[in-house]
Amino acid sequence: MTTGKTLSKKVILIGNFGVGKTSLTRQFVYQKFSDEYLTTLGVKIDKKVVEVGNDLVNLMIWDIAGEVSQTRVNTSYYLGSNGIIYVFDLSRPSTYEHMEADIEYVQKLLPDVPILRVANKADLLTEEQIANISVPYDFLSSAKTSQNVEEMFLKLTKAMLQ
């Protein structure tokens, strides 16, 4: 039972094709709408209510299809976002090679918005292989085993409320 406020926040999930953005969202929320919207509109929206202290936060999660590039994604989908999750696939270096440039581009559109770097598909690599990856990340996740899925959304929510 909460006695605080109810707030709504928009979170966008970005990253290259096939890194597991949709699977992470599916793991986090019970989806009402079909994934087909992702292929037709290039975006799919889901909702999850998260409790932070006494407050309830309505997370509106925009799962954006395609690469983070000025020419390939409808930039309007980014507008008004309160938080960003950049997802990459640990097993495919091509998905994190341009991560910093992509983040710089998104931060120009959305200055002062908290961003999380999420290294997904941790289940595909051994601990030794993971230790050898030099790219920085905030969370090591796996949509398959649900490793850190709840945790990363909760951390972002707290960062958005600060």
Partner 1 sequence: MAENTKHTEDAFSKVNVFFDMFEEVLHKQNQQIEQRITQEIRNIKEALSQEEIKIQEKLNPVLEEKVERVKEELGKINNISVIIKKEIRDSQPEMIDALYPIMGKLVQKFIKVELEKLNENINKQLDNSFSWEAIRREFLGLLGIKQEDVLLAQASQATINEFFVIYQNSGILQAHYSKEDVIDDDMVAGMLTAIKSFINDAFRNSADLETIEYGNSKILIFSAVRFYLVAVVSGVVDKGFQDRLQSYMQLFYETHLSNFSDEEIAEKDLTKILKKHIEDFPNYNLIAQKINDYRQNIKQKGNFNWKFWRW
Footprint of partner 1 (CB under 8 A): 8-10, 32-33, 37, 41-43, 45-47, 58, 60, 62, 74-77, 79-82
Which residues, including other chains, have CB under 8 Å from residue 50's CB and lie 6 or more apart? 56, 57, 59, 153, 154, 157
Q: Least CB distance from residue 34 to partner 1, whole Å?
A: 12
Which residues, including other chains, have CB under 8 Å from residue 48's CB and lie 6 or more apart? 28, 29, 59, 61, 153
Q: Smaller CB distance to partner 1: residue 38 or 90?
A: 38
Q: Smaller CB distance to partner 1: residue 10 or 121?
A: 10
Q: Least CB distance from residue 41 to partner 1, whole Å?
A: 6
The answer to whether 149 touches 20, Cβ cutoff 8 Å, is no
Q: Smaller CB distance to partner 1: residue 62 or 139?
A: 62
Q: Least CB distance from residue 133 to partner 1, whole Å?
A: 34
Q: Least CB distance from residue 96 to partner 1, whole Å?
A: 27
